[in-house]
Structure 1
Amino acid sequence: MMSLAQSPATHKGTARDLKSALEVDLRLLAMIGAVAVIWVGFDLLTDGIFLTARNLWNLTVQTSVVGIMTTGMVLVIVTRHIDLSVGSVLGFVGMIMAVLQVQYFPIGAGWNWVGSLVLGLALGAVIGAFQGWWVAHRGVPSFIVTLGGLLIFRGLAWTVTEGQTVAPLDETFQLMGGGLLGSIGAFWSWMVGAAGVALVLFRTFAARRRRQRYGFPVRPVWAEILVAAIVIAGIVGFVAVMNAYDRPRTDIAQGIPIPVLILIGAVIVMSSITKVTKFGRYVFAIGGNPEAAQLAGINTKLVIMSVFALMGLLAGIAGAVQTARLNAGANSTGELLELSVIAAAVIGGTSLAGGTGTISGAIVGAVFMQSLQSGMILLGLPTPMQNVVIGLVLILAVWIDTSYQRRRL
């Protein structure tokens, strides 16, 4: 009888010990579970179309634009600010790159797309720094500054071409957007996968050695192996799915799309910034307590301005990907995309109260948002209703974040 009475507590203790050993983020696991539920649900509703290699390949391309900007939005929100202008900045920078390629730079010249890309990214960073200056040095709330930016840069995108669409773009530039030739094929995809596996093993070993050197607690060996095995299985599965989609009317595997490689690069860089640099620590310190961070000697104004400049740069990169994918500079590019970016960051665990957020969680949030949108498109849901659903998801995400923060206090 005693053993029966103790069994619930024993189970709870076992689950708690397992969680402690694996050092898992329960919120991230919950989000991954939610994505899995959405995938299975949409697959059933679309008679098996959603989980086909073709749709998943397209889903990764669609996620790349939102994902790239979400990595920057995490830092913006962590510092207790917001950027409502990212969709308009994306569209404006993309339009400028298109205009440079078609109207000013020699068509066919090898440096055509490179020049437009470099100038476009520089413009994005300058726009971000300009908005960050108003927030950090003039004390204007970021909500107001970036709301103004949303209107300004959307209007400037229209003014540059008087509402006309600019096309076609450089063929090499188009590869950044994916498409029939915008992927690296099966062999190089497996090479990228092998590099990812090697990176996981190296980081697992290095992190364990570093913890042991400084006397910090380490996971049990079995837990290290299990976590690494799960991540490696995810990498191998991802590459296999990308290679399972063949180019139309051929037996040639598409492999990993170039936009996804750009997203992976952004995730690696931004994760490194947040985890191993002073700048990343300053960002989270400011989000946790701005006054204490300033008293500790952190140049909070410079950090905030830099965060917005970085956000502008990432919006420029996303603008290049989106414009290349459309093979045109269009005035509607990026409209309402800021909602998906903000929702992805919040859904992924970035707190609007500041001080908390992860790049990995934000990417899962981006996958969640794009999966939702892709499924609604496959079901034939009208665009206005899609916006209704995304709006409701955003409200729900903020409510969950607020409830979570309250529970922690």
Structure 2
Amino acid sequence: MAETTNTIPFNPARATTENPVRRFFRATEIDTRLLGMIGALLVIWIGFHMLTGGLFLTPRNLWNLTVQTSSVAVMATGMVLIIVTRNIDLSVGSVLGFCGMVMGVMQAQILPQYLGLDSSLIWIVTLACGVVVGGLIGALHGVIIAFLGVPSFIVTLGGLLVWRGATWFVTSGQTVAPMNATFRLMGGGTEGSIGATASWVVGLIACLAIVGAILNARKQRKRFGFPRRPVWAEYVLATLSCAVVIGAVLVANNYYWPVNIALRYAEANAIPVPEGGLKISHGIAVPVLIAIAVGIVMTFISTRLRFGRYVFAIGGNQEAAELAGIKTRWVTVRIFALMGILCAIAAAISTARLNAATNAQGELDELYTIAAAVIGGTSLAGGVGTIAGAMLGAFVMQSLQSGMVLLGIDSPLQRIVVGFVLVVAVWLDTVYRARAK
């Protein structure tokens, strides 16, 4: 970023007449839709903070907000690819519930008989089984859609009913609890977080990765002769991104363990308790790290791999994609199989957080997942969508829910608000696409 050469063509007329704000966005290449969503999120936060008497923007609530967002954010990354190809998946909530019940039964009833109650392999085998089941369910949906020609709306609507009913039959409606102690770490909580020191290490690695990515992008643009951003714009992007990371770590580290749990921990480990009390930071929660890791992997898949290019090509024009030699049917199968795997990962987070597998698990998650993707800029017309936008959309949805819970708003009214937001998001997408033509 110390490089001062800028290959972006300079136009004196435009430089003197262009609005400074527009010039800033052109130079930094910041996605204005994503920035608008961040602005809306800040408005939601400030509004709820004022209405709740200062309860919303606290480390405790923000930490819980990130944990609660994790499972939907994981599924939203897969929903982007499905909607981009002009399909839909209405079964994700039911698949989550079924996979969660399978994993619950595996670790609570089946595996202890063969591996023992305290085996360290239980959570690994449980998670692997859940991922396999989720992948097979998704692949089944994909095969029916791609090779039998049944619309995805109908297939996944049927899946919503089938897998919700199958969840009940696994245990005849009984709740399965408790979960394996190591498995529970994926759900967050006091033990399911990495602490202050490890959080700072993760934050430092993230900042280094951001700077490295910006430098590498600039190097690649120079290598292939593409226009490069001004050096000051690179510094602005790096500074803003690192500031967000550091701010997130500060918030996570300012949420401390409950007093009684901290005292028991001090007694068990012979730690002296100071007069002001023992303050142990939660740090970043494990499910948040899982969601971030999934987001990074899915971004790599969608932007760097041939498979991702095929997905967007199909969404742009399926007939052209077929003429170009893309096996669109198998791509569809792989997309839905990937969605099933992501549902299983989300089920692991949800089950671990609840410390139980229930029949109601994942209900209405299909609504929140689709809404997150659409609010995040994924067009229902196909061909357009980003993973980061969908994850931010999930954060917006959970912020609305959390704020309404703090205000004591009834669940039916919460659903009305969510439905209204979804309709408005689709309308805004329609307006944006019309103006972009």
TM norm structure 2 = 0.90
Distance 2:404 2:82 in 1: 29
Output the CA distance in 1 between the equivalents of 2:102 and 2:423: 34
Correspondence for 1:322: 350
Could you tell me which residue of structure 1 aligns to residue 142 of structure 2? 132
Amino acid at match of 1:401: D
Match 1:221 to one of 231, 234, 238: 231
Match of 1:243 among 238, 245, 253: 253
Look up the equivalent residue of 1:333 and give its one-letter code: Q
What amino acid is aligned across from residue 377 of structure 2 in structure 1? G
User: 1:14 is aligned with what amino acid?
Assistant: P
The separation in 1 between residues aligned to 2:143 and 2:149, in whole angstroms, is: 9
The corresponding residue for 1:373 is 401
Residue among 217, 238, 241 paired with 1:231: 241
Percent identical pairs in the alignment equals 58
Is 1:29 the counterpart of 2:57? The answer is no
| Structure 2 residue 195 is matched with structure 1 residue 167 | no
Q: Residues of 2 paired with 1:400 and 1:104: CA distance?
A: 49
C-alpha distance after superposition, 1:2-61 (max 9, x if no partner): xxxxxxx96753333222101111100000000000000000000110000000000000
Q: Partner residue of 1:14?
A: 20
Q: Which residue of 2 aligns with 1:6?
A: none
Counterparts of 1:239 and 1:261 in 2: how far apart (Å)? Answer: 12
Choose the corresponding residue for 1:116, options 126, 147, 155: 126
C-alpha distance after superposition, 1:102-141 (max 9, x if no partner): 1111132221121111001110011111101111111111
Match of 2:78 among 69, 72, 78: 72
Normalising by the residue count of structure 1, what TM-score does the alignment of the two structures yield?
A: 0.97
2:370 aligned with 1:342: yes
Deviates more, 1:112-121 or 1:330-339: 112-121
State the match for 2:209 in structure 1: 199
Is residue 313 of structure 2 the alignment partner of residue 285 of structure 1? Answer: yes
Q: Displacement, 1:78? A: 0.6
> 1:362 corresponds to which residue?
390
Task: Provide the C-alpha distance between the structure 2 equivalents of 1:345 and 1:300, rounded to a whole number of angstroms.
Answer: 22
**The 10-residue stretch of structure 1 (102-111 or 153-162) with the greater mean CA deviation from structure 2:** 102-111
Can you give the 5+ residue segments of structure 2 that lack an aligned partner in the other structure? 1-14, 263-278
Gaps of 5+ in 1: 1-8
SS at structure 1 position matched to 2:176: coil
In the alignment, which residue of structure 1 is the partner of 2:100? Answer: 94
For residues 210-237 of structure 1, give each alpha carbon's deviation from its aligned partner in whole angstroms, at most 9, with x where no partner exists: 0000000000000011011100000000
Structure 2 distance, partners of 1:65, 1:152, is 21
- Distance in 1, Cα, partners of 2:300 & 2:54: 38
Corresponding letter in the other structure for 1:63: T
Q: In structure 1, give the amino acid aligned to 2:207.
A: V
- How far apart are the structure 1 equivalents of 2:49 and 2:22? 34
**1:44 aligned to which of 30, 46, 50:** 50
Quote the offset at 1:405 in angstroms: 1.9
Q: Which amino acid aligns with 1:336?
A: L
Alpha-carbon distance in structure 2 between the residues aligned to 1:383 and 1:16 = 42
Residue 70 (structure 2) pairs with residue 60 (structure 1):
no
Q: What is aligned with 1:263?
A: 291
Moved over 4 A (4+): 9-12
CA distance in 1, matches of 2:118, 2:158: 37
Root mean square deviation of aligned Cα: 1.1
Q: Which residue of 1 aligns with 2:304?
A: 276
Q: Which residue of 1 aligns with 2:157?
A: 147
